[in-house]
Chains A and B, each alone.
Chain A
């Protein structure tokens, strides 16, 4: 039903936005316990390849392959999570980055999954948008409940002071592994969704840049609340599209004005730089993150700003 509501182009944008939102949540989950992972693109690749193999080579329906892709990525996530338990900060970043590189090398050299040729003719799923929307709703509801639960509070405590959390009786090992595995599983689902929309993946589809962008989504949106991931991924993915449609309006500006001040050309440069298919957008991302770190280091949305929104002014 959602399929018929939009033309192919809009549908495509919405699916990619949804995949990015899922990817952002996959980063948010381990981050909630203080684990910063640059390996989420690797887990996306695992989910994408798993689902592609299961549907194309074993003839499984997508509805069955999707959960398997999530579980596969989650299990590998827990395995990666074990060595990740003992290290923090920059070292964890390097470990997860290394993992993502391993996944890239394996998919590049393993002929069963297409090797350097990439994985072609992944069955296209017409109702992919429905899957994306449903999964996002499930994930948001999950985090909404987690946030208001004892476990969510425990994760916050682990994030703030791991040693003390452990001394206060929290099973830090389990909590961190759970968060890491959960994030990996969500990444796997995101990867599978991507694969069955794009119908082609190769070892470079989920590269380090993807991991950096996922990190950007959460940092820009705000990492202290689960709404931040949704906002950040939605905002940064849709921004170039909004700018594109804005271009049509600029055509209406009188020529005399644009001669005086070339706003259309400035605009074209900016839009070009933000284009999703264009590596130059990383320059813009870099500028955005520097400005953000100065003006709003906690991201666009924070727990405090949400609290202010919900509580009436005269309470």
Chain B
């Protein structure tokens, strides 16, 4: 019988060194399917490195990653995206000259066309006028995603002309366009005002409800503690605590990492 609530992601002994510096040291972690799993820790704790290792932007020195019961052997980021892992970036990285709609359609490309040859064929061998069926479907999906993130009116605007909060949301829309089953959000609330953060709270929950497992790096503790099913705390590349938001908040090692050494007499 298949295991119930199987882990979406299993990490075993994941290690990344930069020279002699351990950005990530023997990390073991499990992310349950359908959870919102937060990853917190002080700056430089190795959170973004973890995302880079998951998406293949960096290669791990040691350790294993198992995604949906199968080893994540693919080296190249694009292959991992096709497997079903998508991410956003801490420092927003959109394609400045593309419109919002085009940006989302970039995310859909890998699903619409299996290979570059098929994409080339579709580009050259279509009817002389009008939009290809594939392209129309991509456009409709992209519109739906923009609407999902409240960007329906910004489709024709250039990504670089959008406001900061809209750019953050556009990044999420682009990631969702790749139809991931695991979404990695890298500080999605950074630079947002309180209203936008509250809306983000709801957005992430709705993404989870679409059947996407979410791993969230975030410094906004209200957001993290409000929506996370589970929280992992990193410090200096090592896991120092893990549990429900309530457990983690009172964990002595976490308090020490965030507030400094015990100053009681």
A interface with B by C-beta (< 8 Å) = 142, 145-146, 149-154, 156-157, 160-161, 163-175, 178, 224, 303
B interface with A by C-beta (< 8 Å) = 55, 57, 76-78, 81-82, 86-87, 89, 93-98, 102, 105-113, 115-116, 119-120, 122-124, 126, 132, 134-135, 138, 174-175, 178
Which one, B77, B107, B116, contacts A166 given CB within 8 A? B77
Alpha-carbon distance A163/B87, docked complex (angstroms): 12
Q: How many A-B residue pairs have CB under 8 A?
A: 103
Q: Chain A residues near B57: list those with CB within 8 A.
A: 163, 167
Shortest CB-to-CB span from B40 to chain A, Å, is 23
Residue of B78, B108, B134 most packed against chain A (CB within 10 A): B78
Smallest CB-CB separation from A167: which chain B residue? B77
- Sample 29 A-B pairs with CB under 8 A, ordered by A number: A145-B126, A149-B123, A149-B132, A149-B135, A150-B113, A150-B122, A150-B123, A153-B98, A153-B102, A153-B106, A153-B109, A154-B106, A156-B95, A157-B98, A160-B97, A165-B95, A165-B106, A166-B76, A167-B55, A168-B78, A168-B110, A169-B81, A169-B110, A169-B111, A169-B178, A174-B116, A175-B116, A178-B116, A178-B120
Q: Could you tell me if B95 and A161 are in contact, using CB atoms closer than 8 angstroms?
A: yes
Q: Chain B residues near A161: list those with CB within 8 A.
A: 93, 95
Alpha-carbon distance A169/B55, docked complex (angstroms): 10
Given contacts A153-B102, A153-B109, A169-B81, contact A160 B95 (CB under 8 A): yes
Given contacts A149-B122, A150-B123, A156-B97, contact A171 B115 (CB under 8 A): yes
Q: Could you tell me if A170 and B109 are in contact, using CB atoms closer than 8 angstroms?
A: yes
Alpha-carbon distance A156/B103, docked complex (angstroms): 10
Q: Chain B residues near A151: list those with CB within 8 A.
A: 113, 116, 119-120, 122-123
Q: Could you tell me if B105 and A150 are in contact, using CB atoms closer than 8 angstroms?
A: yes
Alpha-carbon distance A224/B158, docked complex (angstroms): 15
Alpha-carbon distance A145/B132, docked complex (angstroms): 11
Q: Chain A residues near B109: list those with CB within 8 A.
A: 150, 153-154, 168-170
Q: Chain B residues near A160: list those with CB within 8 A.
A: 95-98
Shortest CB-to-CB span from B95 to chain A, Å, is 4
* Further 5 A-B residue pairs, CB within 8 A, beyond A156-B97, A163-B77, A170-B110: A161-B95, A164-B95, A168-B81, A168-B107, A170-B78
Alpha-carbon distance A168/B178, docked complex (angstroms): 7
Q: Could you tell me if A168 and B120 are in contact, using CB atoms closer than 8 angstroms?
A: no
Q: Chain B residues near A145: list those with CB within 8 A.
A: 123-124, 126
